[in-house]
Amino acid sequence: MPPRSNSYDIPTGATSRVPPEDADPGIGGRGFLGRVLTRKGLDLYLRNALASVATFLLDLVFIWVLVEKAGAGRLLAVALGFLLANALHYVLARVWIFRGSARGMASGYVLFVGNALVGLALILGAFTLLSDVLSVPYLAARIAASLVAGTAVFLFNATVNFGKL
């Protein structure tokens, strides 16, 4: 067995939609779920989760400083914190999570930001519902809103943007 590579380079001519014939079908078979539920998919998800937690903690600190110390509105603070953390997350995605991607830097960033804006819309909608309608404390609302949005954003980046699943 060849040594394990953490770069998951895409062979020339391969796409994210057609796994190689010798690819591990994973526990979900050969479809989309099968590509996600492989050792490679779980490794990428774990790396993404670690990067997400690190950038998310930065996001929370930034939100807290803006709201509690600078007097900014909560919604504005959440949006700015998300965008700052997302820029750092893209750097981590390029150099650590999805390294070796065939996607160009500029086009990858455009897709990453577009995907992040969809994630931001999901987060802001859920955050508003949780904090304003259901009176959940704003930091707890931000954590809850990020869980679902973060998974959706990862799946898009892993399959479409960076082509690693």
Total domains, the chain: 1
Residue 23 domain flag? no
Output the CA–CA distances (angstroms, integers) from residue 60 to 77, 141, 152, in the order listed.
9, 11, 20
Domain membership of residue 50 (yes or no) is: yes
The answer to whether residue 21 is domain-embedded is: no
Q: Can you read off the two tokens belonging to residue 85?
A: 């953390």
Residues forming a β-bridge with 5: none
Provide the percentage of residues in the chain whose pLDDT is more than 90: 46
Give pLDDT tens digits for 107-128: 998 899 899 889 889 989 999 9
Query: Is residue 16 included in any domain, yes or no?
Result: no
Q: Is residue 22 part of a domain?
A: no
- 29-84 pLDDT per residue, tens: 567 777 778 888 889 989 999 999 999 899 999 999 999 999 999 999 998 998 89
CA triplet 93, 95, 97: central angle to 5 degrees?
45
**Residue-range definition of the domain harbouring residue 99:** 32-161
pTM: 0.65
